[in-house]
Every structure is written in C-alpha cells, then in structure tokens.
Amino acid sequence: MQMGPIRGNKRKIKLEIENGLASESSEEPSIDWWHEFSRKISGLVSPSKGVDQFETFFKVSRKTFNYICSLVNEPMMTKATNFSFLNGQFLSLNDQVALALRRLSSGDSLHGVANFFGTNHSTVSQVTWRFVEAIEERGLHHLQWPSTEHEISQIKSKFENVRGLPNCCGAIDTTHIMMLLSATDRTSDVWLDRKDNHSMMLQVIVDPDMRFRDVVTGWPGKMDDASVLQKSNFYHLSEKGERLNGKKLKLSEGTNVQEYIVGDSGFPLLPWLITPYQGQTRDLPETKSEFNKRHFATRLVAQMALARLKDVWRVIQGVMWRPDKNRLPRVILACCILHNIVIDMEDDVFDDDLPLTSRQHDLGYHHEVCDVADKNASIARDKLALYLSGRLLS
C-alpha cells in the first residue's frame, strides 16, 4: 500500500506489506456483551432482537467482529488512556471497536455517533483514530500482492473464467474521496479537481474476488488516473520488471503475452497494463469490439469493489466535512483493509442486502482518455484480440 503526499508536498509515506494471510480464527463475541451494549445505547435495538441485528449495525458478522477485536487488542489496550461513556463507565475493547466500526460504516458525524453511543465527540474521534492506527499496524497482511505462484495462478484462472482474458492478474480503477474543506484550505487549488470539487484520489488494483491487492491514496483529486499510476510504487516495480513478471502465456508460435492488469482508457496502454480500444463499439472491427466487451466485463470487478467499499464504509462516501488531510489517507487505508478482512473471513453479511448492480462509485466523474500507448503493448493487444476471436494462427 502506498500513500501520496499530503498538503501538496512531495513526501511519500510508504507502508511495507507483510507476507502471509492471517489465519487466526475466533469465537463469536459474547451475546451478553451485545445485550449489555444494546441497553447502553438508547433506541438501538430491543434486547430480544439484538443478536439478529448485530450484522446490520456493525456491517460485519459476529465472527469477524471478534477477529477484529483480537487483531487490534494489543495496540488499542496497551496505552494508558481510559475512554468512558457519559455515565463514567469505561469503554471495553469491544465497546471501542463497536464505536469505531459504527463511525466508519455509518458515516455519521462525530457528534451524531457520540450522541447515539452516550459519550462525547472527542472520545469518538480519539477511539476511531486509535482503531485506524491499530488496523494499519496489525492488518496490513490482509492487503498484499499475491506472494506465491499458486495464488497468482488461481487469480488468473478466475479472471479467465469471467470472459476469457488469459494471464490477467488484476483490474485497476480510481475513485474520488470528496472533501468539504475549511475556508482557509479552500483558498488553495491543490485539492480542487476537474469538477471543481475538493477531493483526494484512491487507486486500487483488485482481484476477481473484489479483494484489494494494491492501494494508492493521498494524491489530490486534480491529478488524472495516469498521473496517479505513474506516482505509484506498483508502476515503478512493473516498469523495472519486478512485478507482473511471472510466466508468459503462449498464444501461438512466436506469440506470447506477459502477465498484466486491465484498466479503462484513462490509463496508458503498457505491456503490463492492457486498456480497451478507443472509439465507439459500432465503429470498431468485430475482433476489437469483441475484445472491448470481454475487457469491460473483466475490469468490472474493480468498479464493483469500489462501489461496495463506499457503500459499506460510508465515512468515505459522500462529502467529508473538514477532514484532517494528514490522517485521511490512513482512514481510507483502514476502510480498504476492513473491506478485505470481510472477504478473507468469508463473511456473507452482504450477500443478500447489498446488490452490486450499481457500479457508480464516482458519480459525476468521467474517465479522461490517455493517449499514451506503448507500441509493443499495442501489438500484444492486437494479438490478444485475435486469439480471443479464434483468428490467431498457430
């Protein structure tokens, strides 16, 4: 994961990803705790329905909630600060995780969450930030590029099963995190994007299961997709041949295709980043038109992942009121990690009540067209289009 500079400077904050995926399992959180917690919160749920509505309230299953508690327990509880409700009772670890998850998933204001929980807004702010730090410290192994040949082979197979694109390792997309800045900040155009909104960019590379495999955030929304990509560590690794450098696939005698990711026309066409053919479908030759259809269906998973991210972790949906731009990239990262944890824990909380038919995660923004096209990549795309149409001679 990588975060761009904040406040317009050129400093980059890079976080190294740990190898390996968490395998810890955990017991379900205490029903007694949930009943007691429900009674503390006026108007939340009735005790008889508390357990049934747990998933709706926290946006994670009870199993995942308890795993998250175990993940952040040490960094959250070793510090001396004691947080409390207005009645003076101290917040337990479960209470703090519950408060932070509610803040991140509801998108309610600090005062709104505080009033609902029976505490004060400074407690909500401090607990949420401590939770964000803890998730970043202990949860980064949930957000990593595939580290084994077996894992990358599974990803390629799943992508190929979508619409036939072979040797594809990911789909890339971007979205804007909207901000309502203070009067002082609004005098600077650093964060002013092409739609005259103040925003921060989030770029993700997604696998077929909607899991984020690479995240870049912190760059101003005025930057286009190609510029954000070129600032990323993923770009530099790929250009140096240190990423997407696995087995090449033989399409025909003398024709191979290397590992690649797919992105829309806002990205440059590169040997390791395949974009669609430009132009209206009706005006393209059949092979190119068919390729674009397959390409679109394959990269759709990135749009769906970003739509789900914003639907579930609503603190980054809509317009954020005067966010701390130094902290916002880490809040975004925490939401991405939580998104992955839900997938890794095989949560089925949203299978029925979060339809993915809507892919609109960036309303009002239309991707610009990048004219950068590597010659060898263009030839490889043509060969790939012919291969998919069955017209590439062996």
In this model, does residue 17 exceed pLDDT 70? no
Task: Write down the pLDDT at residue 25.
Answer: 40
In this model, does residue 26 exceed pLDDT 50? no
Q: Residues with Cβ < 8 Å from 242, sequence gap 6 or more?
A: none
In this model, does residue 214 exceed pLDDT 90? yes
In this model, does residue 215 exceed pLDDT 70? yes
Q: Residues with Cβ < 8 Å from 162, sequence gap 6 or more?
A: 208, 297, 298, 301
Looking at the domain assignment, is residue 14 inside a domain? no
Helix (H, G, I), strand (E, B) or coil at 352: coil
In this model, does residue 235 exceed pLDDT 90? yes
Look at 25 and 358; give whichever has higher pLDDT.
358
Is the same domain home to 78 and 185? Answer: no
Average pLDDT, the chain: 86
Task: Write down the pLDDT at residue 14.
Answer: 37
Looking at the domain assignment, is residue 1 inside a domain? no
Helix (H, G, I), strand (E, B) or coil at 83: coil
The residue among 362, 298, 351 whose CA lies nearest residue 166 is 298
Looking at the domain assignment, is residue 7 inside a domain? no
Beta bridge mates, 176: 201
Domain count along the chain: 2
Is the same domain home to 189 and 211? Answer: yes
Asked if 262 and 207 touch (Cβ cutoff 8 Å), the reply is no
In this model, does residue 7 exceed pLDDT 50? no
Looking at the domain assignment, is residue 335 inside a domain? yes
Is the same domain home to 55 and 162? Answer: no
Is the same domain home to 260 and 355? Answer: yes
Q: What is the pLDDT of residues 319-374, one digit of tens each?
A: 888 898 899 999 999 999 999 999 999 987 655 444 544 567 887 787 789 999 99
Among 108, 141, 174, the domain-final residue is 141
Is the same domain home to 318 and 219? Answer: yes
In this model, does residue 47 exceed pLDDT 60? no
* Element housing 178 (H / E): strand 168-180
Looking at the domain assignment, is residue 2 inside a domain? no
Looking at the domain assignment, is residue 49 inside a domain? yes
CA distance 276 to 286: 14
Region of poorest pLDDT, from 163-172, 175-184, 239-248: 175-184
Asked if 132 and 331 touch (Cβ cutoff 8 Å), the reply is yes
DSSP label of 88? S
Region of poorest pLDDT, from 5-19, 64-78, 314-328: 5-19
Is the same domain home to 255 and 328? Answer: yes
Q: Which pTM value belongs to this model?
A: 0.89
Please provide residue 3's backbone torsions phi and psi, each rounded to the nearest 5 degrees. -120, 140
Among 107, 141, 175, the domain-final residue is 141
Looking at the domain assignment, is residue 9 inside a domain? no
Total Cβ atoms within 10 A of residue 352? 7
CA distance to 144, 156, 169, per residue, from 207 (Å)? 11, 9, 7
The segment with the largest mean pLDDT, out of 19-33, 173-187, 302-316, 336-350, is 302-316
Question: What's the pLDDT band for 12 if we cut at 50, 70, 90?
Answer: very low
Is the same domain home to 101 and 183? Answer: no
Is the same domain home to 300 and 161? Answer: yes
Asked if 261 and 159 touch (Cβ cutoff 8 Å), the reply is no
Task: Write down the pLDDT at residue 52.
Answer: 54
Looking at the domain assignment, is residue 257 inside a domain? yes
Is the same domain home to 186 and 123? Answer: no
Is the same domain home to 378 and 253? Answer: yes
* Element housing 274 (H / E): strand 273-274
Question: What's the pLDDT band for 254 if we cut at 50, 70, 90?
Answer: confident
CA distance 181 to 258: 44
In this model, does residue 302 exceed pLDDT 80? yes
Asked if 168 and 156 touch (Cβ cutoff 8 Å), the reply is yes
Region of poorest pLDDT, from 17-26, 106-115, 316-325: 17-26
Please provide residue 201's backbone torsions phi and psi, each rounded to the nearest 5 degrees. -85, 145
Is the same domain home to 32 and 65? Answer: yes
In this model, does residue 9 exceed pLDDT 50? no
Q: What is the pLDDT of residues 109-168, one digit of tens each?
A: 999 999 989 999 999 999 999 999 999 999 999 999 999 999 999 999 999 999 999 999
Q: Residues with Cβ < 8 Å from 122, sequence gap 6 or more?
A: none
Is the same domain home to 172 and 273? Answer: yes
Among 141, 170, 197, the domain-final residue is 141
Task: Write down the pLDDT at residue 4.
Answer: 63
In this model, does residue 249 exceed pLDDT 60? yes
Domain ranges, residue 254: 145-389
